[in-house]
Each structure stands twice: as C-alpha cells, then as structure tokens.
Amino acid sequence: MDKKTKTIVLVVSAVCVVAIGAVIALLVSLNHLRKANAEQEREIFNLNEQMNFEQGQAVLRFDDEHALDEQLQTFEHLKVDNDSLQNLLDQQTEHAKDLVNEIKKLKRENSNDKARINELLKELAAVRELIMGYIRQIDELNTQNQQLTVENEQVKEENRQIRDRNKSLSNQNEQLSQTVNRAKQLDVTHFQMTPLNKRDKKTKYLRKTVKLQLDYTIGKNITAEPGMKTIYMRLTSPSDQLLGESEGKVFAFEDGEVPYSLKQEIEYAGEIYNGTLFWPLAEEPQEGTYRVEFFADGSLIGQYSFVLD
C-alpha cells in the first residue's frame, strides 16, 4: 500500500472513530434526557399525589396516611348527648373511613388516576367540612348547655332561698300558732286540797278523813274561746297508782288516750273560774304525797301535789 493510500485510510478511520464517538455521546445524552424526563414526570405525578386540597379549614394530602388516620380517630371520638346529631356524625365518619380506605388502596396500587384521586380528596374534604360543621354545632350546644347549667344553678339557688324563706315563714307561723294556742289555753292558777270528815267538815286527822275536797282556779283569759269546757283530773296515790281508773274513762291527749279520775263540765266566759271536785275515800287513805293533774282541750293546764299524814 503506497503512502497516499495509507493516509486516506488513516483519515477515514479517524473520521469513523470521531463519528462513532459522537453517536455514542449523542446516545448517552439522549439516555440522560430520557431519565431526566422520566424523573420530572415522576416528580410531577408525586406532586399531584401530594397536592393539598383546601376547603374551608380542610387540608388533606394523598400520601399523608398518618394525618388521615388522625382525622378519622378525631371523628370517631366525637360524642354528643344529642342522638340525632350523633347519628349524623357516625354516618359521616363511616363515609370518611370508606374514602380513606379507597385512597390508601390507590396508593398501594400506585394508581395514575389523578382525576379519581382528586375526586376522592375533594369528597373527603367535603365530608370533613360537614363534620367540622357538626363540631361547631356541638360547641354551640355545649355553650348553650353550660349557660343553661349556670341558669339552672341560679334557679336552684333561688328556689333554695325561696324554700328557706318559706320554711322560716312556716316556722314563724308555727311558732305564732303555738303562741296563739298557748295564749288560748286555760291555766289552773291555784289549787287547794281540804280533807273532810263524814259530816263534810274539815279535819286534821287522817283516820277521820273520808273525802277530799279539791278546789282549783282557772285564770282569766280573754283570748280563750268561751263556752262549755270539760275539765279532766288525774289523781295519783303515793304508790303512783291512778285513783278511780276504770275502763272507758279516757280522754284524747297527744295522739292517744289517757285515763282520768274525775271530770267536770264548766261554762267558761274568759273570766276567773273557781271549781271544786270531791274524791270519796272507800278506806283510810295512804300517807304520803299525792299528785294532781288538770287537762282541758287536749292540753295539760295544771300540775300540783299535796301531802296526807
């Protein structure tokens, strides 16, 4: 091969090498470009997937499962005493749970259906907005309940004060009534026992005493109701035995019946009244202290004692 031919071959070889190098460089550049485009497409897709959709206060992200789960937990823990509102909350919470599960399913499947993803996010945001509206209603109800509770406590306190005043007035009325009743009550202001012999003469000898004369005085009382009154007397021996006790001889006293020894019908006109009762002795009386009690209109009106010796 002559020199000229060698030179041509070398030049052609060099051109081929340069051309091949250029082709290789071009292929490498194209490959890098394709990778860059693919990366950019993935970034755009991820950006779309991570897109925040805002409606009112709602911010929901496709890839933030933790945030979605926290939202669901918040919804599930919402409780209210209003049954109708609680039913609406439960329904929307179940709806939100279904939407989140479908979003998670799309994520696991690496879905490229951005339209469906956006639709789910919008619907989830709308559900969240509904639930937020229910929350505001709950807050309003709680505020109203707190106000009603305060008002109820105020009413209870006012009622308590009224009851206390009424009780005080009732006690005052009862005390006044008792005072009036006591004022109306008869009162034995004086009592005297005189031992009598068989000739109805006063005697100082016990063995000659056959009868006891019991004189009593009812004081003046213009507040007492005038009219016929029954005076009951109980005479008790030194041995604490009621004298003259027998079946049927009782009078009403303090929700019960009390036996008596003697009774006397008198007409009382509000002025001083002097009365006398006689107690016959069937046998020689006991020595010692005797007790005398007087009753009228269901009240004890006098208590006295005397000694026989």
Read off the pLDDT of each residue in 218-246 and give the average, rounded to a whole number.
91
Whether 37 maps to a domain, the answer reads: no
Nearest CA to 124 among 78, 69, 85, 83? 69
Give me 213's structure tokens.
């004369």
Is the same domain home to 130 and 208? no
Q: Which of 168, 184, 200 is the last residue of a domain?
A: 184
Whether 7 maps to a domain, the answer reads: no
Give the chain's domain count: 2
Is the same domain home to 213 and 121? no
More confident residue, 170 or 41: 170
Indicate the residue type of 218: I
Cα–Cα distance measured from residue 225 to residue 298, given in angstroms and rounded to the nearest whole number = 14
Is the same domain home to 175 and 96? yes
More confident residue, 22 or 177: 177
Indicate the residue type of 136: R
Whether 42 maps to a domain, the answer reads: no
Q: How does residue 255 score in pLDDT terms, banded at 50, 70 and 90?
A: confident
Whether 36 maps to a domain, the answer reads: no
Whether 240 maps to a domain, the answer reads: yes
Residue 5 region, left (φ>0) first, then alpha (ψ -120 to 50), else beta? Answer: alpha
More confident residue, 270 or 23: 270
Q: Which of 154, 184, 214 is the last residue of a domain?
A: 184
Residue 164's domain comprises: 50-184
Q: Given this model, what pLDDT does residue 54 score?
A: 35
Is the same domain home to 162 and 260? no
Read off the pLDDT of each residue in 12-37 and give the average, rounded to a whole number.
48
More confident residue, 35 or 203: 203
